[in-house]
Amino acid sequence: MSGKRRRKLKSLSDTINDNKKLAIVVKNEDKNEDLELQTWSDLPAELLELILSRLALDDNVRTSVVCKRWHCVAIAVRVINQSPWLMYFPKFGDLYEFYDPVQRKTYSVELTELSGSRVCYTKDGWLLLYRPRTHQVFFFNPFTRKVIKLPRFEMTYQIVAFSCAPTSPDCVLFTVKHVSPTIVAISTCYPGATEWKTVNYQNRLPFVSSMWNKLVFCNGLFYCLSLTGWLGVFDPSERSWSVLSVPPPKCPENFFAKNWWKGKFMTEHNGDIIVIYTCSSENPILFKLDQSIMEWEEMRTLDGVTLFASFLSSHSRVDLPGMMRNSVYFSKVRFYGKRCISFSVDDYRYYPRKQCHDWGEQDPFENIWIEPPKDFPGFT
């Protein structure tokens, strides 16, 4: 082959290679251009929701004006209410832990004011505490360190609740004690009182009171769920007591197991009484009291509500981050890397998944959900 022909073939080969390289470069540039176009606005909805759910309210409002898509997601996960925090009571010492389930942060605070006391109830950011040795009862706000003392009162196995913050003139304390199957002793008090007032009431239906009963204040009334599932109601304004003729919630026969009486929780939401029944080998069952027909009906959805369940008091919230909605958060965290155990009503499963959740093995005085002040930044 002549040199001239070889030079032509080489020139042709170089041209073809150059064209291939050019095509690759153009293709890569197109890919890069596509990648540049597929940035924040093209994030998958699940990932975008996860990111925006971590933002504070002000930042959420700012991101909602970026585009229509971001606006929809920002509105869906916008946090308006403050989530309750989980407060741990140590067995020894005065160092208390507070866990924020939204930010997944833990704060350690020394509270010498609580030395020798046990927790009884919490509402509106206030703790109600009792010192067994001295029978002293008092309110304490861990966020402001304010103390409000109450008259001494001997508590044995009964539980106690209060209607609202002790700084309110409407605050009433309530406790019920089992005297006999047909008689209960109800004691009431209020901040500023000099003594507790106790009155015995006759029951139309058997009502057994114990420390495993559940108390909640709703629509001006105290509701008490007994050990066996019967519901007692006390009206503090009328000073009247009655046991409702409402049969206990119906559960499957295999639902009850060891320590079944401990795995019950009760709260209220928008005037509705909600009860949560748990069992170590079964998923929780949620019931709501239908007050029009006075029957417990099983709940299949929470309609965006988040429940926070602990033995002594439970809470409900709306407008929390999207991933927290339609779920029940239980007061247990330590064995899961500072992560609460929750049950998703939508997915019908626990997170993290585990075959056995025996809430009956927990100490009822170990922890409690408490409501921090709105926009509370955390302890320093």
pLDDT at 361: 67
Is residue 199 a contact partner of residue 186, using CB atoms and an 8 Å limit? yes
Supply φ then ψ for residue 178, to 5 degrees.
Answer: -75, 120
pLDDT (0 to 100) of residue 8: 47
10-19, 231-240, 346-355, range with greatest mean pLDDT: 231-240
Exposure b/e, 344-354, CB count within 10 A at least 16 = b: bbeeeebbeee
Residue 73 has pLDDT above 90, yes or no: no
Task: Name the residue with higher pLDDT: 310 or 8.
Answer: 310
Average pLDDT, the chain: 84
pLDDT in tens, 317-342: 998 877 889 999 998 766 555 678 89
Share of the chain above pLDDT 90, in %: 49
CB atoms within 10 A of CB 259: 15
pLDDT at 1: 54
- 89 or 376, greater pLDDT: 89
pLDDT tens for 75-116 read 777 666 789 999 999 988 999 999 999 888 899 999 999 999
Q: How far apart are CA 188 and CA 183, in angstroms?
A: 16
Reported confidence tier of residue 6, pLDDT bands at 50, 70, 90: low
User: What pLDDT band is residue 2 in, cutting at 50, 70 and 90?
Assistant: low
Say if residue 352 is preceded by a cis peptide, omega within 30 of 0: yes
- Between CA 119 and CA 161 the distance in angstroms is 11
CA gap 360, 264 in Å, rounded: 9
